[in-house]
Amino acid sequence: MASPATDEGTFKTPKSVRVRSFGSNGGTPVTIPSSPFMKKLGCGTGVSVYLMDRRGKLNASPWAVKKINSKCAVKQLEVYQKRLNEEAKLLQGISHPNIVGFRAFATAKDGSKCLAMEYGGEQSLNDLIEKRREEGLKAFPAANIEKVALDVSRGLQYLHNEKKLLHGDMKSCNIVIKGDFETVKICDVGVSLLLDENMRVSDPKADYIGTEPWKPKEALDEEGDITDKADIFAFGLTLWEMMTLAMPHLEMLGDDDDEDEGETFDEEAYYERLGTRPALDAETLGSSYRKMVELFYLCTEEDPRKRPSASQIVKALESNAPLDKMPKEVIIID
């Protein structure tokens, strides 16, 4: 009988691997099961995430384990391993209720990397959007969007102001939700960039990775000035995702049932729209969405100086102040 297949190939047998890790457990040995013995939670570029059940350890809480997909080309594999190393180092120094917490970082004998993070039964916001769309539903209730807006902006405020970090890849895939929006947390800080005292990326040679549909204009320009406002633009598009159940700028893909699906994508139009504000039918949404529509418009200003900071968003939402009544000088930063 053949051994269970693994989509990473990092563990050659389905046996558990006992490794040492650094982190909250003080460097004690951690047993990381091989992929076939863990439930797959999701995947991203070069990595897969699994649920590690730890009930055998005195009913310890489960972990989400991110592992490198070794099917990648050698050069890509090195890049993803470096990112996972960086993500582990960053997460160790981060502690915030709206950011997924670090648990351990393990290295197996074959050199494969495993980053263990907190897990509380979350689903990605992207999964919830897809599920809602498949069920034929419309926009999330305004209260759910406002909860995501406040909690994510709190997490971004912490990253920007206290840790001087640009997340660098804000989108629905990198937000996890527990239950009925009981908790909202930012995840995947592997491509974060350091910010200086002026909220600009401190290393001029550093690459802004991001994900194309969520990138602001300045990140699409090789000479663009990347600041904390790049996260704000992507954050605004994430709110748009919740109101439209769509992915930014990909509406021209057409329906999956189109017979001529391959001919519906206008590549030139797509690239022209990148970094711009996608259309939103605010009238159909109704008055209960007014605040989130206004926030979306503010965050997706093409000029980054006109976008609010994470701190300003938190202040406005916590005080329940009407966004259209905010003083102009609070919105525009010189």
Checking 9-18 for CB contacts under 8 A at 24+ apart, the result is 9/69, 9/70, 9/71, 10/35, 10/67, 10/68, 10/70, 10/108, 10/110, 10/112, 11/35, 11/108, 11/110, 11/112, 12/110, 17/108, 17/109
Backbone angles phi, psi at 225, to 5 degrees: -90, 105
Catalytic annotation, pick one of 7, 53, 169, 203: 169
- State the Cα–Cα distance between residues 292 and 313, nearest whole angstrom: 11
- State the Cα–Cα distance between residues 209 and 292, nearest whole angstrom: 27
What tokens were used for 251? 């509406």
- State the Cα–Cα distance between residues 71 and 82, nearest whole angstrom: 16
What tokens were used for 254? 């057409």
Q: Are strands 183-186 and 175-178 parallel, antiparallel or unpaired?
A: antiparallel
What tokens were used for 241? 């995702």
Q: Who contacts 207 (Cβ-Cβ below 8 Å, separation ≥6)?
A: none
Task: Please indicate whether residue 169 is annotated as part of the active site.
Answer: yes
Q: Are 292 and 139 in contact (CB under 8 A)?
A: no
Which residues does the annotation mark as catalytic? 169
